[in-house]
Amino acid sequence: GAVVSQHPSWVICKSGTSVKIECRSLDFQATTMFWYRQFPKQSLMLMATSNEGSKATYEQGVEKDKFLINHASLTLSTLTVTSAHPEDSSFYICSASGGLAVYEQYFGPGTRLTVT
């Protein structure tokens, strides 16, 4: 199946700093990428959807200025958590679609962010 990578797999940062998470589709062109957030023992919450070359569509309640999403190419999307605070600590997962079957989503392995 299609492969999606995320980098870094885990990151610890200090409160007030910014963190960038990369999501790459390795063997297909991802026309759409999704960013999710998952708290421990909870479901995935969709944060935003991004189509290559256009602005991301954010879900209600997600701060656009805090969670900056860029989908500059068909294989790369980035999520930047700006001015991170401890409450931003979470598991962030990206997924991509547009590969062999447009209805499928392929997930990255996730990034665990801890803000101290």
Partner 1 sequence: AQKITQTQPGMFVQEKEAVTLDCTYDTSDQSYGLFWYKQPSSGEMIFLIYQGSYDEQNATEGRYSLNFQKARKSANLVISASQLGDSAMYFCAMREPRRGYQKVTFGTGTKLQVIP
Which chain residues interact with partner 1 by CB under 8 A?
Answer: 1, 32, 34, 36, 42-46, 49, 51, 54, 57, 91, 93, 95, 97, 101, 103-107, 109-110, 112
User: Biggest alpha carbon distance in the chain?
Assistant: 41
Distance of closest approach, residue 114 Cβ to partner 1, in angstroms: 14
Q: Which is nearer to partner 1, 15 or 57 (CB)?
A: 57
Q: Which is nearer to partner 1, 29 or 83 (CB)?
A: 29
Q: Which is nearer to partner 1, 86 or 103 (CB)?
A: 103
Q: Which is nearer to partner 1, 14 or 54 (CB)?
A: 54
Distance (Å, whole) CA 86 – CA 37:
14
Residue 88 has phi, psi (to 5 degrees) of -85, -10
Distance of closest approach, residue 16 Cβ to partner 1, in angstroms: 27
Distance (Å, whole) CA 70 – CA 9:
19
Distance of closest approach, residue 78 Cβ to partner 1, in angstroms: 18
DSSP 57-94: EEPTT--TTTEEEEEEETTEEEEEE-S--GGG-EEEEE
